[in-house]
Amino acid sequence: MTHIKRLRETGSHLQLLLDRIEPLARAGKLGPLLWQLPPTFKRDDRRLAGALAELPRDLRHAIEFRHPSWFAAEVMEALRANGVALVIAHRPEIASFQSHELTADFTYLRFHHGARGRRGNYSPAEVREWAGRVRRWAADRDVYAYFNNDWEAFAPANATALSALLARPARS
């Protein structure tokens, strides 16, 4: 639906996914569904509108744009109108265009690659900076945060560090 069909025929392909995840939904274990678009897929408002119209409203959805053309006010408004979260992805190569727009009653963070740690690891300073953002955003919305920097198993340690910082009382 995202990489091959590029948001075409979403409705006809969506049912297979929904059937497969139904046990998670029934058990109350289903978080937001991540829709990650390929980095070569440029903005297409018509396809986005069609896909957003097909998404079930009883589930949470988050979309990760990886081409800079998607980061436009009209796209953010379309996400807001449909209650779909913009994925806030962190990786150095997209820092010039990735925004921190909050477009739904939750936000979805994907930590792909630390900028100041070694080999994709997040430095303690980076984790502290993100903890501050997460704490601010969590004041009025749910925050889902995932570390995807797992090629050298940094993700578990980085997630544990972030979780530990968030468990501490906020400094005044």
User: Tell me, what's the pLDDT at 172?
Assistant: 56
Extract the tokens encoding 81.
């109108």
Q: What is the mean pLDDT of residues 153-158?
A: 93
74-121 pLDDT per residue, tens: 999 999 999 999 999 998 888 899 999 999 999 999 998 877 767 889
pLDDT above 90 covers a percentage of the chain that reads 75
Give the tens place of pLDDT for each residue, 26-42.
Answer: 999 999 999 999 999 99
Task: Report CA-CA distances (Å) from 117 to 9, 88, 123, 126, 165.
Answer: 41, 19, 4, 8, 18
Whole-structure pTM value: 0.91
Q: Where are the domains of the chain?
A: 10-167
- Mean pLDDT over 58-76 rounds to 97
Which of 3.40.640.10, 3.40.50.300, 3.40.50.720, 3.20.20.410 would CATH assign to domain 10-167?
Answer: 3.20.20.410
